[in-house]
Structure 1
Amino acid sequence: MVRLGSLLVLLTYTLGSMQGSDGKELPVPISDVMERLVDLEKRLLIQEGKNADLEKRLLEQEILNEAQGKIIQNMASCDCHSNEKATTNLSDGSLNPYTTDIEDSQGNTSSFDGQMNKSLPLHHAQNSHSVSQIKSNPNAKRDIAGGVAFYAYMSQSEFSLGHHQTLVFDHVVTNVGGNYNRHSGMFTSPSQGGYVFSWTLYCSAGGNFYSQVVVNSDLVGALYCGAQGSHDIKHVTGVVVVEINQGDIVYIRSHPTILIEGAVYSSSIIRSSFTGWKLF
């Protein structure tokens, strides 16, 4: 408002001294000028707020880019040996970069592990092997019949988290029994028993928020993620074990009243996630 006051004084002095060709003072609509200046000051304040918000987002993006760069460098420095059987097989016109014969994987799992570990990073090889076994082995499918388990994560960050808001983990990786809804973010219990639920959330640099795990309308667990004064992304993980009934719903939500700052981060290198399974 100091700028507005200075402009008003200057314009009042200037306009007050304006004269016509006959030497008489001209009538000046001071109220109109003041009204326009007040409106201009409001617009300037709004624009300054937008600029500050944009600078904050740019800083957060720079931090995220730096973290991604470090991970890429670590991956590039990994000593991964190539394998002749992991090359593209063009003899039959296919474009499959890995020769994972199903029968071989079932008949000789140790040989399969050795081939995959040479062609891929260790963690990827183990995951690929386990998924291949489940898909190719019908006995494995029968073993999990009647089981209950799910795992899902956010496909993108949530920048406009509100109070009492259900967090939706929309990308489903595992949903044995089909009891998790990726559209609502809620798990519906298919039967009475003991269940384990866990959730991991990342908060942006300088941000903070509280999260809760809820059964129906009852609070059974809570977490706080705080990154005030930090230039790094922070994360928290919570685990609860509860006994619930058939038809009960379980979900993660933000706190109903406490101030929320920053964003819930989730990307290709950091996953804000929600998982659960039945114990008995």
Structure 2
Amino acid sequence: MNLNQNDTAVTPNQSLPSDPSILSLKDSLISKPHGKRVAIRTMTTVMADVVAFYVYLTNTETNPGPHHVIVYDHVVTNSGNGYNKHSGAFTVPKAGMYVFSWTTFVDQNSYFPIELAVNSHRAGIVFVHASTTFNGVTGSVVIQLQQDDVVMVRSEPGYNPSGNIYSDNKMKTTFSGWCISCSN
């Protein structure tokens, strides 16, 4: 974006997203002769500081046992680079209050307790069972975390599950997390 001698923006509208709230903010910034540079830089900085990820499993995991970490191999979003698709772990890049959600599908004749673990300790758990058809369950947790804490989804260590963790293009086994209040 270029500014003329009066600090008035001269960049065409196409350079910013078309979201109405962003355009409204952009229009109010352009109409005010002072402070535009600071406000626009702040908006860019806020977006750069976002910590969020969304990943899913592309294939069914056959007969995983107890204490099995689910390694979600397809990364859709990984802002902050906290998720590792090789280990299935999210390493907290910034301390703060986080929300995590995980959805697990199983196929016929399967049952699993699936837990969210933080530094190897249970932070949340769900149970999914399917007898004659596929079934799924979603869990969510809101939790305060410190930088370098490690979060993962796994089958519960003290329980012997049965069957398969299912995922395909119609039913995705997913894991996501985002910081709702991160420290700098």
Please tell me the TM-score bracket, short chain as reference: 0.7 to 0.9
Name the count of aligned residue pairs. Answer: 150
With over 3 angstroms needed to count, the CA separation of the structure-2 counterparts of 1:141 and 1:154, relative to structure 1, is farther
Task: Say if 2:167 is the partner of 1:226.
Answer: no
Q: Could you state the TM-score of these two structures normalised by the residue count of structure 2?
A: 0.74
Structure 1: how far apart are the matches of 2:175 and 2:99?
11
Q: Could you state the TM-score of these two structures normalised by the residue count of structure 1?
A: 0.50
Q: Which residue of 2 aligns with 1:278?
A: 179
Q: Which residue of 2 aligns with 1:187?
A: 90
**Structure 1: tracts of 5 or more residues without a match:** 1-102, 111-137
Q: Which residue of 2 aligns with 1:211?
A: 114
Q: Per residue, is there more strand in 1 or in 2?
A: 2
- Runs of 4 or more above 2 Å deviation: 103-110, 138-143
Identity within the alignment, %: 38
Q: Which residue of 2 aligns with 1:148?
A: 51
Question: What code does the residue aligned with 2:115 have?
Answer: Q
**Structure 2: tracts of 5 or more residues without a match:** 1-12, 21-40
Q: Per residue, is there more helix in 1 or in 2?
A: 1
Task: Say if 2:75 is the partner of 1:165.
Answer: no
Residues 42-53 of structure 1 aligned to structure 2 (within 5 Å): none
Residues 11-22 of structure 1 aligned to structure 2 (within 5 Å): none
Structure 2: how far apart are the matches of 1:260 and 1:159?
11
Alignment RMSD (CA, Å): 2.3
Structure 2: how far apart are the matches of 1:147 and 1:106?
18
Query: Which of 148, 159, 175 is 1:258 aligned to?
Result: 159
The structure with higher relative contact order (CA 8 Å, sep 6+) is: 2
With over 3 angstroms needed to count, the CA separation of the structure-2 counterparts of 1:259 and 1:106, relative to structure 1, is same
Q: Rg bigger for which structure?
A: 1
Match of 2:178, SS state, is strand
